[in-house]
Amino acid sequence: LTPYTITIPAGTYTLNSELPIGDGFIDIYLVGAGQELTTIKQGSTGCSGSRTQRVFNIGDPYSSNVVVTISELTISNGAGQGTGGGAIIFGGVNHYLTLNNVTISDNCAYGSSKGGGIALIPEGNLTINNSTFSNNFPPSSLNAKCLLR
């Protein structure tokens, strides 16, 4: 299958719901104009009951062979409930997520959940290259603001 590339121009893109990506049928590449130039974020602020949407839900854990690469952008202001992952929840059999030159900042997980930045469900494969995690709450013991299950 031919991969599908989505080029995201410079700007701030505010979501009002979680954005699902990847179904196992085609590889997806999200490419921004640069970490300082392209931001994808949720619209509400603060880590409370009013902020309930993460930014990306990558791959259905019941599907397989999901391949997503995110490059050259910032993901912020998301909130994860239950399973965590304010910016991204990801994982499943033969699922692959690669972050290249990505900033994960100002995300949170609340309640009993952890991994303010990323929640990685079992069997997912995560590669992080030249990326920054900052001001995500709660931080994990790995200090990368990720929850690895």
Average pLDDT value for the chain: 84
pLDDT tens, residue by residue, 98-142: 999 999 999 988 766 677 888 887 778 999 999 999 988 876 533
Please list the residues that pair with 13 across neighbouring strands: 40
pLDDT of residue 113: 64
Q: In 10 A of CB 98, how many CB atoms?
A: 17
Task: Give this prediction's pTM.
Answer: 0.89
CA pair distance 51, 27, nearest whole angstrom: 30
The pair of three-digit structure tokens given for residue 133, joined into one six-digit string:
């995690």
The pair of three-digit structure tokens given for residue 17, joined into one six-digit string:
């719901």
CA pair distance 24, 3, nearest whole angstrom: 11
Classify strands 4-7 and 118-120 as parallel, antiparallel or unpaired: unpaired
Q: In 10 A of CB 15, how many CB atoms?
A: 16
Nearest to 136 by CA among 54, 73, 77, 71: 77
CA pair distance 29, 93, nearest whole angstrom: 19
pLDDT tens, residue by residue, 53-109: 889 999 876 777 889 999 999 999 998 877 788 899 888 888 899 999 999 999 988
Please list the residues that pair with 109 across neighbouring strands: 80
